[in-house]
Every structure is written in structure tokens, then in C-alpha cells.
Structure 1
Amino acid sequence: MECLNCKTIYEGKFCPECGQKSETKRFTFQKITNDTLTTLTNTDKGFFFNLKYLTLAPGKSINNYLDGKRKQVFNPFSYALLAIGLYLFVDHYYDFSIFRSFSNPDNKWRDANIGAYDFGQQIGHFIRKYLKFFYLLNIVYLSLITYLILKKRNLVEYLVSNAFIIGHAIIITTVFIPLYKTPIFFNPITFISIAILMYFTYKDYEEKIVVFVALFFSILVSFLLQFIVPGFIIWLKTLIF
């Protein structure tokens, strides 16, 4: 039998080279519906596999993935992007913005500090506009610090593990939006979730005190840089334009 996908000659139900099934059915409305429902509800593979095991056993799941157990797991960077997209969708329909407080005409701090207020508002709007990019950058910030302090794995492996961590922390934050509506870059639920997930992932990498130091500095640097970097970009724009 010749594989329809890679042209390999083989016998059996699956191609040994690319995994293509030997039997393929024509697309029908029923097939598309069944495939979609299976993808969305399957807890043994893909997005819901990540959701299930990152909730029940985050450290074990992430370290198993890094050690090679990857067949059923949804790509960590795709997971983070999907989580950010889900958060933005839910947050949009709850119609909440931190900038409302700044638009209050009785805001005396704003009147007394008009320059700082305007610059702060620019940073806030800039972060909110490009939130998905800044939360992806947070993966880099967390990874650099954990790599420099813990050193058990290489930098790319820390990028992978922190993509899982950021993605799942944002999923947790999204679940709590109906109860606690605060922008994600100020939301304590996000940072508490990141800290817990990082602890379970890295707790066996080094002495406990070293792990706690890594958690503290990586989250602190991540939090500060998500305001410093856009502030620097806006400052550069004012110089250039």
C-alpha cells in the first residue's frame, strides 16, 4: 500500500513514516462535526490534555514533556497563544478596563501630575493593545532568570516549560474573571498561579531556597519589565517622531 501523504510503501493501518491512516473517509457534515467535537472534548490528547494534567500534575507533566514524553501534548507555545486569545475574548465581553479610573474627572492625582499621568496612560494603552506580545515576552523574562539561577536545563528548555506555565496561569486567570476583574498585568491571581506552577515544575531542580530565590526574582523581573520595556519603546518613539 502507498501512503497518500508521503508515498511510503507499507502494510498496516498507519504509515510508519508519517502516521497517516491507511483508510481515509470522504468529508461529510457528520464527519466534520464528529472530528470537531472529538478535538474539543478529548482529554487524552491536545489542548484538553494540557488543561487536565497541568492542573492535576503540572511539574510532572512539564518535566515529562522536556524528557521526551510528547505524543499527546499540545504544543506549549500554541497553548500559551490560545490561552492569551481566550483571555482577551472573555475580558472583552466583560467590558472592563483599568483606564476608567484614570478618566474620572475628580482624579486629583492626574491633575497634579499631568505629565506622569499621560505617560503612564500611554504605557497602559500600549500594553493593552499588544498584550499578547508582552505576555509572550514574559516567557523570555522568566526563562532567562530561571536559567541563570537553576541551570539544570538549557535556555530553550526553560522557554518551553515557562510557555506551559504562562499559558496555564492565563487560563486560570480567565476562569476567575467573573469573580475578580482586574487587567492581567496587575492581576495577583496570574502571578500567584505562575509562582505555584513554577514551584511544582522546578522544586526538584535545586535546593528549596535556591528555587524560591529563582521564583521571586524571575516573577519580579517579569513584572517590572512588562512596564519598563513598553515605556522605553514609547520614549524612543517620542525621540524619533
Structure 2
Amino acid sequence: MTCRNCHTDFNGNYCNNCGQSAKTKRFSFKYFVRESFASSLDIENGFFLSFKLLLLNPGKSIKAYIQGSRVSLYPPAKFLILSGAIATFLAIRYRFYSDSYIAGLSELSDMDPKGFLNFAEEYATLINALTIPIFAFFSYLFFKSKGYNYTENLVLNMYITVMQMMGLLFFVPFLEFFPDFKGPILIIYTLGTLLYNVWAYLDFFDARNSKGVLTIALILIASYLTQYLVNNLIFLLITQASWL
């Protein structure tokens, strides 16, 4: 058979050139779950190579992975677990949300936002993980004509979320040396994650035209509004259950 990663002809269960499994299939939810958790949580050389590829060329790298080049990127679920742990640590360590916003929000209304923002720091990984199926749903819905199923959109948005969380690493030196500028730093980080999302979608869906840009804008608006509602619902459920 021909390897779907390096296109080498081979016999057996694994490619003798790149090591990819001969059983590589198109993503379905069942196949995705099995492949994501079949191996142990090791930090392999592929972790750092994946970070580089997703940083420099996210759309094309994710597309190649989904289309069969499975040894090119670190498995998305494992990548999410590692980046989620890092993001949660950094959010709590630098009080990335609460110190930046509590005073400003308190001036705008009588509400006390401290509880929700502390919740956002403590449950940063959960919040980011819950955004993935939301964004996957809308990218699947709006770009259904591209032929990617929901699970493939889930993989796409999982990698995007991973890199958005890992983006916090770039701001650690600024947070260390300029702690009084957390607000502006957070704004820059937020804009950076938004632009990264747009860039990845443009390349992945080959949407470099006015219609594609408009479609991506609709996806982001719908996704962020839904995410906002879901986050607040979870916060209310957790706070209501805290007294039990």
C-alpha cells in the first residue's frame, strides 16, 4: 500500500519510511477517540515540531493531518491536555483575568464580576475545552460544502484552541517585567488569538475571498456568543451547587 503521509509504497502494519500506521482512516468520532487515547501521554519530538508547524502554517498543517498525514502533528487530545495544564497554571499564577477586569467592570455596573473571573482562571482548561465543540459546530455548519465532517471540524478547532492557549507563553516575560500593564497585554493576547483563528480558517477552508471572510466572521460571532452563554450557565450551575 501507499503511505498517506510520505507516499512511500510499503507492506505491513507500519510505513518503513515514516512509521505511520497502515490503518489510518478518515476521522469519525469513534476513530478519533480511539486514536487520541490509544497511546500514553508522552512528550515526544513531535510535540515541538507540531508547535512550530501550527505556529507558522496552521491551516495547511491541520488539513494535511486530517487528510492522512497523522505523524506530522502531535495527537490533538494529548496536545490539548498538556496545553490546558499550562494555560491554567499561567492564568492562576498571573491572575490574568481578574486583576485586569474586576475594577473596570465594577465601574460599569453594580454587579460583582470577581466570582466569574476567578472561576474563569480556575477552570481555564474546562472553558477552553468547551469552546471546541461550539466552534466545530459552526465551522461545520457554515463550511459544510467543503466536505469535512463534524469530527474533522472538531480536530481543526482543537488544534486552534491549543495554540491559542499556548500563546500565553509568549506573554509571560511581559507579565513578569511589566505587571502594571496586564490590561493592555490581555487585549493584545485576545486580538492575537482572534487573528490566529481567522488565519487558520482562511487557509484550511481555502476561503481567501470576500465571501470566505464574511463566513468566518459569522462563525466567530455565533461561536463567541454561544460560548458566552454556555460559560455563564456553567458558572451559575457551579455556584448554585457549591452550597450543597
Q: 1:154-173 to 2 correspondence within 5 Å?
A: 154-173=149-168
8 A Cα contact 1:143 1:158, kept in partner: yes
Match of 1:110 in 2: 106
Q: Give the secondary-structure state (helix, strand or coil) at the position aligned to 1:68.
A: coil
Question: What is the distance in 1 between the residues matched to 2:43 and 2:234?
Answer: 40
8 A Cα contact 1:150 1:210, kept in partner: no
Q: Please report how far the alpha carbon of residue 146 of structure 1 lies from its aligned counterpart in structure 2 after TM superposition.
A: 0.8
Aligned positions, number: 195
Identical positions, percent: 24
8 A Cα contact 1:172 1:193, kept in partner: no
Unaligned runs of 5+ in 2: 1-11, 16-41, 176-181
8 A Cα contact 2:140 2:150, kept in partner: yes
TM-score when normalising by structure 1 = 0.66
TM-score when normalising by structure 2 = 0.66
Q: Give the secondary-structure state (helix, strand or coil) at the position aligned to 1:187.
A: helix
What is the one-letter code of the residue matched to 1:145?
F
Q: 1:33-72 to 2 correspondence within 5 Å?
A: 42=45, 46-72=46-72
Q: Give the secondary-structure state (helix, strand or coil) at the position aligned to 2:167.
A: helix
Q: Please report how far the alpha carbon of residue 149 of structure 1 lies from its aligned counterpart in structure 2 after TM superposition.
A: 0.8
Match of 2:230 in 1: 229
Q: 1:1-241 to 2 correspondence within 5 Å?
A: 42=45, 46-93=46-93, 95-100=94-99, 110=106, 113-114=109-110, 117-118=111-112, 120-151=113-144, 152=146, 153-179=148-174, 181=182, 182=185, 187-202=190-205, 204=206, 208-236=209-237
Report Cα offsets for 1:100-144 as digits up to 9, x if no partner: 35665xx7x737843xx22x3332222222110111111112111
What is the one-letter code of the residue matched to 2:224?
F
What is the one-letter code of the residue matched to 1:139?
I
Question: What is the distance in 1 between the residues matched to 2:58 and 2:106?
Answer: 43
8 A Cα contact 1:149 1:214, kept in partner: yes
**Alignment RMSD, CA only?**
3.3
Note closer, same or farther for the CA distance 1:129–1:221 as it changes in structure 2 (3 Å cut): farther
Between structure 1 and structure 2, the one with the greater Rg is: 1
